[in-house]
Amino acid sequence: MRRLVAETTLQPRQLVLPMFVADGLDEPREISSMPGVYQHSMDSLRKAAVEAVAAGVGGLMLFGVPRAEDKDADGSQASDPDGILNRGLRALVQEVGGSTVVMADTCLDEFTSHGHCGVLNDAGAVDNDATLRRYVDMAVAQAETGADLLGTSGMMDGQVGAIRAGLDAAGYTDTGILAYAAKYASAFYGPFREAVASSLEGDRRSYQQDPANRREAIRELELDLAEGADIVMVKPAMSYLDILREVADRSTVPVAAYQISGEYAMITAAAQNGWIDRRGAILESLMGIRRAGADMVLTYWATEASHWLS
Ligand code: PBG
Protein backbone atom coordinates (compact mmCIF):
# COMPACT_ATOMS: atom_id res chain seq x y z
CA MET A 1 0.00 0.00 0.00
CA ARG A 2 2.85 2.38 0.85
CA ARG A 3 4.47 1.75 -2.51
CA LEU A 4 1.17 2.23 -4.33
CA VAL A 5 0.58 5.68 -2.85
CA ALA A 6 4.15 7.03 -2.60
CA GLU A 7 4.29 10.56 -4.05
CA THR A 8 8.01 10.83 -4.69
CA THR A 9 10.41 8.48 -6.46
CA LEU A 10 14.14 8.01 -6.00
CA GLN A 11 15.87 6.35 -8.93
CA PRO A 12 19.50 5.94 -10.03
CA ARG A 13 18.91 8.03 -13.17
CA GLN A 14 18.12 11.00 -10.91
CA LEU A 15 21.52 10.86 -9.22
CA VAL A 16 24.70 12.53 -10.43
CA LEU A 17 28.14 11.61 -9.06
CA PRO A 18 30.64 14.44 -8.45
CA MET A 19 34.21 13.20 -9.00
CA PHE A 20 37.71 14.60 -8.49
CA VAL A 21 40.71 13.89 -10.71
CA ALA A 22 44.12 15.02 -9.45
CA ASP A 23 47.27 15.65 -11.48
CA GLY A 24 50.29 13.48 -10.76
CA LEU A 25 48.57 10.74 -8.74
CA ASP A 26 49.41 7.07 -9.36
CA GLU A 27 46.94 5.83 -6.76
CA PRO A 28 43.62 7.32 -5.64
CA ARG A 29 43.96 9.40 -2.45
CA GLU A 30 41.14 9.39 0.08
CA ILE A 31 39.88 12.82 1.20
CA SER A 32 40.18 12.72 4.99
CA SER A 33 37.15 14.91 5.68
CA MET A 34 35.08 12.89 3.21
CA PRO A 35 35.75 9.23 4.07
CA GLY A 36 34.94 7.07 1.05
CA VAL A 37 35.49 9.90 -1.48
CA TYR A 38 38.73 10.03 -3.46
CA GLN A 39 40.91 12.27 -5.50
CA HIS A 40 41.28 9.96 -8.48
CA SER A 41 44.22 9.09 -10.66
CA MET A 42 43.38 8.88 -14.37
CA ASP A 43 43.05 5.08 -14.06
CA SER A 44 40.89 5.03 -10.96
CA LEU A 45 38.70 7.79 -12.47
CA ARG A 46 37.91 5.56 -15.44
CA LYS A 47 37.15 2.60 -13.17
CA ALA A 48 34.90 4.58 -10.84
CA ALA A 49 33.07 6.07 -13.83
CA VAL A 50 32.41 2.63 -15.32
CA GLU A 51 31.15 1.42 -11.95
CA ALA A 52 28.84 4.43 -11.56
CA VAL A 53 27.41 4.00 -15.04
CA ALA A 54 26.85 0.28 -14.46
CA ALA A 55 24.93 1.22 -11.31
CA GLY A 56 22.72 3.44 -13.48
CA VAL A 57 23.62 6.99 -12.42
CA GLY A 58 22.25 9.80 -14.56
CA GLY A 59 25.50 11.70 -14.85
CA LEU A 60 29.05 12.42 -13.68
CA MET A 61 30.31 15.88 -12.66
CA LEU A 62 34.09 16.23 -12.85
CA PHE A 63 36.33 18.60 -10.87
CA GLY A 64 40.06 18.91 -11.56
CA VAL A 65 42.84 19.22 -8.98
CA PRO A 66 46.02 20.65 -10.55
CA ARG A 67 49.49 20.48 -9.02
CA ALA A 68 50.12 23.43 -6.70
CA GLU A 69 52.91 24.70 -8.98
CA ASP A 70 50.51 24.84 -11.94
CA LYS A 71 48.18 27.36 -10.31
CA ASP A 72 48.45 31.04 -11.25
CA ALA A 73 46.50 34.27 -10.81
CA ASP A 74 44.47 33.73 -14.01
CA GLY A 75 43.87 30.01 -13.52
CA SER A 76 45.53 29.40 -16.91
CA GLN A 77 45.35 25.62 -16.64
CA ALA A 78 41.57 25.72 -16.71
CA SER A 79 41.52 26.53 -20.42
CA ASP A 80 44.60 24.48 -21.36
CA PRO A 81 43.52 21.41 -23.37
CA ASP A 82 46.25 19.47 -21.51
CA GLY A 83 45.15 20.71 -18.07
CA ILE A 84 44.10 18.01 -15.63
CA LEU A 85 40.37 18.69 -15.87
CA ASN A 86 40.29 18.62 -19.65
CA ARG A 87 42.36 15.43 -19.73
CA GLY A 88 39.99 13.88 -17.21
CA LEU A 89 36.95 14.91 -19.24
CA ARG A 90 38.41 13.35 -22.37
CA ALA A 91 39.00 10.12 -20.43
CA LEU A 92 35.38 10.11 -19.22
CA VAL A 93 33.99 10.83 -22.69
CA GLN A 94 36.10 8.03 -24.11
CA GLU A 95 35.16 5.58 -21.36
CA VAL A 96 31.46 6.26 -20.76
CA GLY A 97 30.42 8.99 -23.23
CA GLY A 98 26.97 8.26 -24.66
CA SER A 99 26.12 5.99 -21.71
CA THR A 100 25.73 8.82 -19.22
CA VAL A 101 25.86 12.61 -19.16
CA VAL A 102 29.44 13.88 -18.76
CA MET A 103 29.50 17.19 -16.88
CA ALA A 104 32.39 19.59 -16.32
CA ASP A 105 32.86 22.09 -13.51
CA THR A 106 33.27 25.43 -15.26
CA CYS A 107 34.90 27.55 -12.57
CA LEU A 108 38.40 28.89 -11.97
CA ASP A 109 38.79 28.31 -8.24
CA GLU A 110 40.66 25.02 -8.46
CA PHE A 111 43.15 26.63 -10.82
CA THR A 112 43.81 30.06 -9.31
CA SER A 113 46.72 30.62 -6.92
CA HIS A 114 44.44 32.79 -4.72
CA GLY A 115 41.61 30.24 -4.80
CA HIS A 116 38.88 32.63 -5.92
CA CYS A 117 36.30 31.71 -8.55
CA GLY A 118 37.45 34.59 -10.74
CA VAL A 119 40.43 36.78 -11.59
CA LEU A 120 41.24 39.71 -9.32
CA ASN A 121 41.53 43.43 -10.04
CA ASP A 122 44.32 45.66 -8.72
CA ALA A 123 42.45 46.15 -5.45
CA GLY A 124 42.36 42.38 -4.91
CA ALA A 125 38.62 42.07 -5.51
CA VAL A 126 37.09 39.61 -7.97
CA ASP A 127 36.70 41.26 -11.39
CA ASN A 128 33.36 39.98 -12.70
CA ASP A 129 33.67 40.91 -16.36
CA ALA A 130 37.32 39.94 -16.76
CA THR A 131 36.34 36.60 -15.24
CA LEU A 132 33.63 36.08 -17.86
CA ARG A 133 36.27 36.15 -20.58
CA ARG A 134 38.21 33.42 -18.78
CA TYR A 135 35.03 31.35 -18.36
CA VAL A 136 34.35 31.50 -22.08
CA ASP A 137 37.85 30.19 -22.87
CA MET A 138 37.43 27.48 -20.27
CA ALA A 139 33.98 26.51 -21.56
CA VAL A 140 35.17 26.21 -25.16
CA ALA A 141 38.11 24.03 -24.08
CA GLN A 142 35.72 21.82 -22.11
CA ALA A 143 33.25 21.57 -24.99
CA GLU A 144 36.16 20.46 -27.18
CA THR A 145 36.67 17.45 -24.90
CA GLY A 146 33.17 16.24 -25.73
CA ALA A 147 31.63 17.04 -22.33
CA ASP A 148 27.83 17.22 -22.58
CA LEU A 149 26.99 19.77 -19.91
CA LEU A 150 28.98 22.60 -18.32
CA GLY A 151 28.38 23.39 -14.66
CA THR A 152 28.75 27.12 -14.12
CA SER A 153 29.56 27.20 -10.41
CA GLY A 154 31.40 30.53 -10.14
CA MET A 155 28.42 32.83 -9.45
CA MET A 156 29.63 35.69 -11.65
CA ASP A 157 26.86 37.91 -13.02
CA GLY A 158 26.18 37.20 -16.68
CA GLN A 159 28.17 33.96 -16.78
CA VAL A 160 25.45 31.86 -18.40
CA GLY A 161 24.84 34.36 -21.19
CA ALA A 162 28.54 34.88 -21.86
CA ILE A 163 29.28 31.15 -21.95
CA ARG A 164 26.24 30.41 -24.14
CA ALA A 165 27.32 33.04 -26.64
CA GLY A 166 30.93 31.83 -26.56
CA LEU A 167 29.95 28.20 -27.11
CA ASP A 168 27.62 29.07 -29.97
CA ALA A 169 30.25 31.25 -31.65
CA ALA A 170 32.73 28.36 -31.46
CA GLY A 171 30.20 25.96 -32.99
CA TYR A 172 29.31 24.12 -29.77
CA THR A 173 25.58 24.71 -30.02
CA ASP A 174 24.78 21.28 -28.54
CA THR A 175 26.83 21.69 -25.36
CA GLY A 176 24.40 22.42 -22.52
CA ILE A 177 24.66 24.59 -19.42
CA LEU A 178 23.85 23.44 -15.90
CA ALA A 179 23.59 26.79 -14.16
CA TYR A 180 24.34 27.05 -10.46
CA ALA A 181 21.51 29.57 -10.16
CA ALA A 182 21.19 29.92 -6.41
CA LYS A 183 24.50 29.13 -4.76
CA TYR A 184 24.89 30.28 -1.19
CA ALA A 185 28.11 31.25 0.62
CA SER A 186 28.08 28.22 2.91
CA ALA A 187 30.16 26.84 5.77
CA PHE A 188 29.19 23.39 4.54
CA TYR A 189 31.66 23.60 1.63
CA GLY A 190 34.48 23.00 4.14
CA PRO A 191 35.49 19.47 3.13
CA PHE A 192 35.39 20.40 -0.59
CA ARG A 193 38.24 22.82 0.02
CA GLU A 194 40.37 19.83 1.07
CA ALA A 195 39.02 17.77 -1.83
CA VAL A 196 40.34 20.26 -4.40
CA ALA A 197 43.37 21.40 -2.37
CA SER A 198 41.96 24.93 -2.42
CA SER A 199 44.29 27.89 -1.93
CA LEU A 200 41.47 30.18 -0.80
CA GLU A 201 42.03 32.64 2.01
CA GLY A 202 39.02 34.65 3.04
CA ASP A 203 35.58 33.82 1.69
CA ARG A 204 33.29 34.09 -1.33
CA ARG A 205 30.67 36.42 0.11
CA SER A 206 31.17 39.03 -2.60
CA TYR A 207 29.82 36.66 -5.27
CA GLN A 208 27.89 33.87 -3.53
CA GLN A 209 24.49 34.48 -1.94
CA ASP A 210 23.68 35.45 1.61
CA PRO A 211 21.91 32.59 3.46
CA ALA A 212 19.45 35.19 4.72
CA ASN A 213 18.04 35.87 1.25
CA ARG A 214 15.20 34.15 -0.56
CA ARG A 215 14.05 36.69 -3.17
CA GLU A 216 17.60 36.98 -4.43
CA ALA A 217 17.50 33.29 -5.41
CA ILE A 218 14.45 33.90 -7.60
CA ARG A 219 16.18 36.84 -9.26
CA GLU A 220 19.22 34.64 -9.96
CA LEU A 221 16.93 31.93 -11.35
CA GLU A 222 15.16 34.32 -13.70
CA LEU A 223 18.44 35.79 -14.98
CA ASP A 224 19.90 32.33 -15.65
CA LEU A 225 16.75 31.22 -17.47
CA ALA A 226 16.79 34.36 -19.62
CA GLU A 227 20.50 33.82 -20.39
CA GLY A 228 19.90 30.29 -21.68
CA ALA A 229 20.37 27.83 -18.80
CA ASP A 230 19.31 24.27 -19.70
CA ILE A 231 19.16 23.07 -16.09
CA VAL A 232 19.25 25.21 -12.94
CA MET A 233 20.70 24.23 -9.58
CA VAL A 234 20.25 25.10 -5.92
CA LYS A 235 23.24 24.57 -3.65
CA PRO A 236 23.71 23.49 -0.86
CA ALA A 237 20.64 21.24 -0.65
CA MET A 238 19.63 20.37 2.90
CA SER A 239 19.75 23.83 4.48
CA TYR A 240 18.01 25.34 1.43
CA LEU A 241 15.03 23.06 0.80
CA ASP A 242 12.65 26.02 0.90
CA ILE A 243 14.63 27.72 -1.86
CA LEU A 244 14.64 24.48 -3.83
CA ARG A 245 10.85 24.20 -3.60
CA GLU A 246 10.37 27.77 -4.73
CA VAL A 247 12.81 27.43 -7.62
CA ALA A 248 11.15 24.15 -8.67
CA ASP A 249 7.72 25.79 -8.68
CA ARG A 250 8.92 28.61 -10.93
CA SER A 251 11.51 27.04 -13.19
CA THR A 252 10.74 26.28 -16.82
CA VAL A 253 13.75 23.94 -17.08
CA PRO A 254 14.76 20.87 -14.99
CA VAL A 255 16.04 21.58 -11.48
CA ALA A 256 19.08 20.07 -9.77
CA ALA A 257 20.25 20.24 -6.16
CA TYR A 258 23.76 19.58 -4.84
CA GLN A 259 24.10 17.59 -1.62
CA ILE A 260 27.49 19.06 -0.85
CA SER A 261 30.64 17.92 0.91
CA GLY A 262 29.63 19.13 4.39
CA GLU A 263 26.31 17.32 4.14
CA TYR A 264 28.18 14.16 3.18
CA ALA A 265 30.66 14.64 6.02
CA MET A 266 27.99 15.19 8.68
CA ILE A 267 26.03 12.05 7.86
CA THR A 268 29.22 10.02 7.47
CA ALA A 269 30.63 11.16 10.82
CA ALA A 270 27.40 10.57 12.72
CA ALA A 271 27.04 7.12 11.17
CA GLN A 272 30.67 6.24 11.99
CA ASN A 273 29.93 7.08 15.62
CA GLY A 274 26.91 4.81 15.56
CA TRP A 275 24.64 7.79 16.18
CA ILE A 276 22.43 7.36 13.12
CA ASP A 277 21.64 4.56 10.70
CA ARG A 278 23.84 5.32 7.69
CA ARG A 279 21.79 3.82 4.88
CA GLY A 280 18.51 5.10 6.29
CA ALA A 281 19.88 8.62 6.73
CA ILE A 282 21.37 8.74 3.22
CA LEU A 283 18.20 7.56 1.50
CA GLU A 284 16.00 9.82 3.62
CA SER A 285 18.17 12.85 2.85
CA LEU A 286 18.01 12.11 -0.89
CA MET A 287 14.26 11.56 -0.78
CA GLY A 288 13.82 14.84 1.08
CA ILE A 289 15.77 16.71 -1.60
CA ARG A 290 13.68 15.06 -4.34
CA ARG A 291 10.44 15.84 -2.47
CA ALA A 292 11.47 19.49 -2.16
CA GLY A 293 11.54 19.67 -5.96
CA ALA A 294 14.87 18.48 -7.34
CA ASP A 295 14.55 16.54 -10.59
CA MET A 296 18.14 15.40 -10.04
CA VAL A 297 20.54 15.34 -7.10
CA LEU A 298 24.31 15.65 -7.16
CA THR A 299 25.51 13.40 -4.35
CA TYR A 300 28.76 11.70 -3.41
CA TRP A 301 26.63 8.61 -2.64
CA ALA A 302 25.30 8.37 -6.22
CA THR A 303 26.89 5.00 -7.02
CA GLU A 304 26.23 3.38 -3.66
CA ALA A 305 22.65 4.65 -3.45
CA SER A 306 22.03 3.48 -7.02
CA HIS A 307 23.07 -0.04 -5.99
CA TRP A 308 20.61 0.07 -3.12
CA LEU A 309 17.81 1.39 -5.33
CA SER A 310 18.10 -1.06 -8.19
C1 PBG B 1 33.58 26.28 -6.34
C2 PBG B 1 32.81 25.09 -5.88
C3 PBG B 1 32.57 24.73 -4.54
C4 PBG B 1 31.84 23.55 -4.57
C5 PBG B 1 31.63 23.20 -5.91
N6 PBG B 1 32.23 24.19 -6.70
C7 PBG B 1 33.06 25.35 -3.30
C8 PBG B 1 32.86 26.79 -3.07
O9 PBG B 1 32.06 27.45 -3.74
O10 PBG B 1 33.52 27.29 -2.17
C11 PBG B 1 31.39 22.82 -3.35
C12 PBG B 1 30.96 21.40 -3.52
C13 PBG B 1 30.89 20.68 -2.22
O14 PBG B 1 31.08 21.27 -1.13
O15 PBG B 1 30.62 19.46 -2.26
N16 PBG B 1 33.36 26.66 -7.63
pLDDT tens digits, one per residue of 150-175? 999 999 999 999 999 999 999 999 99
- Arithmetic mean of pLDDT over the chain: 97
Contact 17, 60 (CB under 8 A): yes
For 10-309, CATH number out of 2.40.30.20, 3.90.740.10, 3.30.2230.10, 3.20.20.70 equals 3.20.20.70
Cis peptide before 66 (omega within 30 of 0): no
Ligand 1, atom 6: closest residue by C-alpha = 153
Q: Is 231 helix (H, G, I), strand (E, B) or coil?
A: strand
Torsion, CA 139, CA 62, CA 17, CA 223, rounded to 10: -30
Q: Is 298 helix (H, G, I), strand (E, B) or coil?
A: strand
Q: What is the mean pLDDT of residues 214-242?
A: 98
Q: What percent of the chain has pLDDT over 70?
A: 100
Between 241-250 and 215-227, two packed helices, what is the crossing angle to 10 degrees?
40
Per-residue pLDDT of 246-267, as tens digits, reads 999 999 999 999 999 999 999 9
pLDDT at 37 (0 to 100): 98
- In the structure, how many helices (H) and strands (E) does the chain have? 11, 10
Q: Is 201 helix (H, G, I), strand (E, B) or coil?
A: coil
- Which runs of E-coded beta strand occur in 120-277? 149-152, 176-183, 231-235, 255-258
20 Cβ below 6 A of ligand 1: no
261 Cβ below 6 A of ligand 1: yes
Q: How far is CA 39 from CA 10, 35, 45, 84, in A?
A: 27, 11, 9, 12
Report phi then psi at 281, rounded to 5.
-70, -40
Per-residue pLDDT of 59-115, as tens digits, reads 999 999 999 999 999 999 999 999 999 999 999 999 999 999 999 999 999 999 999
303 Cβ below 6 A of ligand 1: no
Residue spans per domain, the chain: 10-309
CA of 259 to the centre of ligand 1 (A): 11
Contact 160, 152 (CB under 8 A): yes
Q: How many CA atoms lie within 13 A of 300 on its CB side?
A: 23
Q: Exposed (0-12), middle (13-18) or buried (19+): which is 231, by Cβ within 10 Å?
A: buried
Ligand 1, atom 7: closest residue by C-alpha = 189
Closest by CA to 11, choosing from 300, 261, 297, is 297
Per-residue pLDDT of 14-57, as tens digits, reads 999 999 999 999 999 999 999 999 999 999 999 999 999 999 99
CA of 186 to the centre of ligand 1 (A): 9
Q: What is the mean pLDDT of residues 233-249?
A: 98
pLDDT at 202 (0 to 100): 87
Choice between 199 and 226, residue whose per-residue pLDDT is larger: 226
Number of neighbouring beta carbons within 10 Å of residue 71:
21
pLDDT at 201 (0 to 100): 85
Tell me if the pTM is above 0.85.
yes
Q: Ligand 1, closest atom to CA 191? A: 14
CA of 189 to the centre of ligand 1 (A): 6
